[in-house]
Amino acid sequence: MPVTNTAFDLDQVRRQCARCDLRDLCLPAGLDNDDVDRVDQMVADRTGLAVGDVLYHAGSPFRALYVIKSGALKTQAVSEGGELQVLGFHLPGEILGFDALATERHQCTAEALEPSSVCRLPYSELERICSAVPGLQRQFMRLVSRDVGDDHDHVAMMGRNQAISRLALFLHSLSKRQARLGRSPEQLTLSMSRSDLANYLGLVLETVSRLFGRLQEMGLIEVRRREIKILDMAGLKEVGDC
């Protein structure tokens, strides 16, 4: 038992994972209580981010991974020619920073789209504990694998040559991710601007705006600024498949 200010605070700090809503989606999933506490102790800190705050910059040295506890972030990379590409929108339970491992430097910039909080996992610690706790190793891999799968979905979406399919696919997949978090799959609150979304989809913002209009005319969704209500999930999925 390490010594700190008050025993009361200690318990609060140390048992956050056990009480976190995301424990079944996040690293502790499937672990027993003792191992959850070891994960808890590994978490260096839980940082709050305001809208626009940057968690890490492309090019900065890699030290830790992050798991999103609440809020939403985007990741984006800038090419040498200055072209920007939004790589992903990330929700609670997702892991960030993994692409930095190969080069020891972050390959993209992670920025908060909403007030958010993230759990910082120093990589050296994570490696050490993963070796000791097989279940953690496995769950960690699962999170990374899910991330790879999301990237593949992104590519598949950008491969569609009908722009409306891309938007429909995006809304459908966002809906599924929301549902995974226990939120309503019909009522979406987009945390990103039209511009970010357009870039993510490989379109321009005017096109995205028009397509929201068209999907609304088709009776598939209801749009009011960044509030989207999905009226016809099956229809949306159909549009997604060209």
Identify the three-state secondary structure at position 138: helix
Kindly tell me which of 12 and 85 has the beta carbon lying closer to a copy of itself.
85
82 binds a copy of itself (CB under 8 A): yes
**Of these, 65, 73, 129, 208, which contacts DNA (CB under 7 A)?**
208
Structural contact between residues 66 and 121, judged by C-beta atoms closer than 8 angstroms: yes
Identify the sign of the CA torsion 87, 176, 114, 105. negative
235 binds, among DNA, a copy of itself, none (CB under 5 to 8 A by kind): none
**Amino acid at site 220:** L
Structural contact between residues 20 and 69, judged by C-beta atoms closer than 8 angstroms: yes
| Dihedral, CA of residue 201, residue 205, residue 208 and residue 214, to nearest 10 | -170
Kindly tell me which of 75 and 191 has the beta carbon lying closer to DNA.
191
Kindly tell me which of 137 and 193 has the beta carbon lying closer to DNA.
193
93 binds a copy of itself (CB under 8 A): no
Would you list the DSSP string of 76-111? EEE-TTS-EEEEEEE-TT-EE-GGGTTTTB-SSEEE
DSSP secondary-structure letter at 61? B
Considering only residues 157-196, where is the footprint of DNA by CB under 7 A? 161-164, 193-195
Q: Which two tokens stand for residue 76?
A: 């984006």
Kindly tell me which of 152 and 229 has the beta carbon lying closer to a copy of itself.
152
**Of these, 199, 208, 211, 220, which contacts a copy of itself (CB under 8 A)?**
199
For 223, phi then psi, to 5°, come to: -115, 130
**Of these, 48, 115, 149, 219, which contacts a copy of itself (CB under 8 A)?**
149
77 binds, among DNA, a copy of itself, none (CB under 5 to 8 A by kind): a copy of itself
Cα(84)–Cα(51) distance, integer angstroms: 19
**Of these, 58, 174, 205, 218, which contacts DNA (CB under 7 A)?**
205
Which residues here bind a copy of itself, judged by CB under 8 A? 77, 79-83, 85, 87, 98-103, 107-108, 127, 130-132, 134, 137-138, 141-149, 151-152, 154-156, 158-161, 199, 202, 237-238, 240-242
